[in-house]
Structure formats: C-alpha cells, structure tokens
Amino acid sequence: DAKTTQPNSMESNEEEPVHLPCNHSTISGTDYIHWYRQLPSQGPEYVIHGLTSNVNNRMASLAIAEDRKSSTLILHRATLRDAAVYYCIQNRDDKIIFGKGTRLHILP
C-alpha cells in the first residue's frame, strides 16, 4: 500500500503558484520522496525527487520538512497544461507504489 497521504483534489488559478502537500510520516532515513504526475490519457511523468534537502528543477521545486515527515511540491506559475493527477511517492527501492494522488484543477 502507498505510504503517503495527499488531498484528493485541489484547485488553483492559472499563473499563480501551487503548493501540493504530502504527508509521509513513516518515512525512514533511506527513503526518497518522488513526485510524478499523470496528464489525462497519458502515462505518468517524472517531476522531481529528493532525500533531505530542498530541490529545484525546471518543472518544480520540492520543499522537504526538516523531520522529513512531509513535503510540498511547488509549481511556481501554474498553467492549464499543469492540470493532472500528482503522485507523491515514498520509496527506497526500484518499485514505485502509487497512491491515489491529488487531482489538480487549474482555473483559467
């Protein structure tokens, strides 16, 4: 079973920042936090991952709490193309266990 907890859905206005929360209270020292997203009728797409420090890439930023029991995916300026289901995953090996994710709606 998935070890993370995410809100079922969120809404955001276009061109505004979006903060997607994730709780992973059972995380251990060797578990990474991965984020994937799935656009409608497509396969999942890697977004970002991290272990302890905050991470930035061209798609998003990942803010990890100091105790690592939660994290936040930040989309700095949401567009309509960011409407998708976002999955937060806690794992330490090759297997990705997907939860139900957060369905992000972007309002024009």
Partner 1 sequence: NAGVMQNPRHLVRRRGQEARLRCSPMKGHSHVYWYRQLPEEGLKFMVYLQKENIIDESGMPKERFSAEFPKEGPSILRIQQVVRGDSAAYFCASSPEGFGEQFFGPGTRLTVL
Q: For residue 8, what are its two tokens?
A: 């079922």
User: Quick check: 66 binds partner 1 (CB under 8 A)?
Assistant: no
Give the footprint of partner 1 on residues 1-20 (CB under 8 A).
Answer: 2
State which of residues 33, 64, 86, 87 lies at the interface with partner 1 (CB under 8 A).
87
Q: Partners of 86 in the beta sheet?
A: 37, 102
Minimum distance, C-beta of residue 45 to partner 1, in the bound complex (Å): 7
Q: How many C-beta atoms lie closer than 10 Å to residue 97's C-beta? A: 12
Q: Is 18 helix (H, G, I), strand (E, B) or coil?
A: strand
Does 94 sit near partner 1 (CB under 8 A)? yes
User: Which residues in the 17-56 window bind partner 1 by CB under 8 A?
Assistant: 38, 42-46, 49
103 binds partner 1 (CB under 8 A): no
Residue 80 tokens read as 């309509």
What is the three-class DSSP state of 6?
A: coil
The token pair at 25 is 């209270």
Q: For binding to partner 1 (CB under 8 A), which residues are involved?
A: 2, 38, 42-46, 49, 85, 87, 93-101
